[in-house]
Amino acid sequence: MNSAFRIATLFGIPIKIHWTFVLLLLWVVYVSQTGMEAWNWGLLARTGLLVATLFVCVILHELGHALTARRYGIRTRNILLLPIGGLAVLDRLPEKPMQELLVALAGPLVNFALALIFLPILLILQPYGLTELAYALMHPERSNVFLDFQASAIERFLFFMVMINLFVGAFNLLPVFPMDGGRILRALLSIGLTRLQATRIAVFIGQACVVGFIGYTFYTEGTVNWATLLIGVFVFFSAGWEYRAIRDESFLERYKVGDVYRGLFTKLYEGDSLALALECLKRGPERNFLVFDEWQNLKGALSEQGTLNGLTQPDAPRLRVADLMTHVPEVLLPTDELKKAVNLLQKEAHPILPVYENDRLVGVLDAQGVDHFLNVQKYLTSPT
Ligand SMILES: [Zn+2]
């Protein structure tokens, strides 16, 4: 991932910053210097420190997700920091509702725990009574005036930490899929429903909340609130994307390799020229081919990309299929789960896999064939 670079590694998990973070830094400079007559270093440093602290809390929040997921054997590829917040990129999503529930809850719980740690320190240090503090907590919009009046820098910082953690924790608990609250909702719904049904309902509730909220801010403010709109667009796209991924996955679970494999396929031979392979690619519907020797033994596979890469080589006219093919380490059985086959095709990047029944080659399976099959099935089967 070139759009993000690593700033640290915690618990073996790389912490990465997305390049758009630069926008946030520019915003910090803009906000701290607006209305100033001269360059105000002190204010810039303070604003920067607050944003940095906020992102430390966000990292701790994501570590809450990541370390809980680790307990269930799910690896976290990295924690990605975007200007709008953090994202723990898990290798896979927990499928058991209880695990998903705990993984989703862990993030906000970290923020509430942080708030609970800072609150007593603030109570001990600050000169006001509990009533004033409670007032400030309940009226954050007025608390600036209230706390700026006498509070020291440390007290204001502690107050900020309590408030921001309560806010981050509560904000993430909004039932808007794919935020934590939406995931918790889906996990709870999955107890009585299928995962796909639960996702559909959670996505719908989340989108309804977003539309309602955008409508509400428009109604009260009279204009479009761009921040809300941006989050709304993000929610709509990411929820839709995850819903489709889960729908495809639930489709896959219903089928075996035997339902999908292609019985008719073109064989290429080790000695065939690149020109012949290209001809097969251009004229037929197939993109990936199995390669055999002259005694009909399976020797490898030639992908579409492999053929096209061959064309760019200087000795292209002399190239044989054997020079371009890749090894085929896996064979499938018609009784294999389709999900397993798709994992091999996608994650291990095999272009095409042979399907054997009683030691006899009966067909092939490639990503194109799976896509085609799923497309057709989506029209034939009403999703449940
Ligand atoms: Zn979270």
User: Ligand 1 centroid to 241 CA: how many Å?
Assistant: 18
Residues forming beta bridges with residue 360, ordered by sequence position: 357
In angstroms, the CA 176 to CA 202 distance is: 7
Q: How many helices (H) and strands (E) does the chain have?
A: 15, 9
User: Ligand 1 centroid to 36 CA: how many Å?
Assistant: 36
Report yes or no: 75 and 90 within 8 Å, Cβ to Cβ. yes
pLDDT tens for residues 317-349?
888 999 989 888 778 899 998 888 888 887 667
Please check whether residue 2 lies inside any domain of the structure. Answer: no
Is 0.75 topped by the overall pTM?
A: no
Q: Measure Cα distances from 218 to 205, 206, 215, 224, 383 in Å.
A: 20, 18, 5, 5, 36
User: Ligand 1 centroid to 179 CA: how many Å?
Assistant: 7
Specify the pLDDT at position 1.
46
Please check whether residue 364 lies inside any domain of the structure. Answer: yes
User: Ligand 1 centroid to 169 CA: how many Å?
Assistant: 8
Final residue before a domain boundary, out of 253, 284, 314 = 253
Number of domains the chain contains: 2
**HSE-up (13 A, CA, CB side) for residue 31:** 12
Q: Averaged over 198-210, what is the pLDDT?
A: 86
Q: Averaged over 256-276, what is the pLDDT?
A: 91
Specify the pLDDT at position 363.
92
Looking at the structure, do residues 235 and 271 belong to the same domain, yes or no? no
* pLDDT greater than 60 at residue 187: yes
Please check whether residue 362 lies inside any domain of the structure. Answer: yes
Final residue before a domain boundary, out of 231, 253, 275 = 253
User: Ligand 1 centroid to 251 CA: how many Å?
Assistant: 28
Specify the pLDDT at position 216.
84
Specify the pLDDT at position 140.
60
Q: What is the DSSP string of 241-257?
A: HHHHHHHHHHHHHT-BH
Torsion (CA) 31, 32, 33, 37 in degrees, nearest 10 = 130
Specify the pLDDT at position 149.
45
* pLDDT greater than 60 at residue 147: no
Please check whether residue 282 lies inside any domain of the structure. Answer: yes
Looking at the structure, do residues 231 and 312 belong to the same domain, yes or no? no
Q: How confident is the model at residue 284 (pLDDT cuts 50, 70, 90)?
A: confident
CA-angle at 99, arms to 94 and 104, nearest 5°: 85
In angstroms, the CA 365 to CA 383 distance is: 24
* pLDDT greater than 90 at residue 192: no
User: Ligand 1 centroid to 245 CA: how many Å?
Assistant: 20
| Interacting residues of 125 by C-beta distance below 8 A, sequence separation 6+ | 152, 154, 155, 158
Specify the pLDDT at position 343.
80
pLDDT tens for residues 12-50?
888 888 877 777 778 777 776 776 676 777 777 777 888
User: Ligand 1 centroid to 61 CA: how many Å?
Assistant: 6
* pLDDT greater than 80 at residue 360: yes
User: Ligand 1 centroid to 335 CA: how many Å?
Assistant: 39
* pLDDT greater than 50 at residue 205: yes
> Residue 196 sits in which domain range?
174-253
* pLDDT greater than 80 at residue 197: yes
Q: How confident is the model at residue 106 (pLDDT cuts 50, 70, 90)?
A: very high
User: Ligand 1 centroid to 104 CA: how many Å?
Assistant: 6
Final residue before a domain boundary, out of 233, 253, 273 = 253
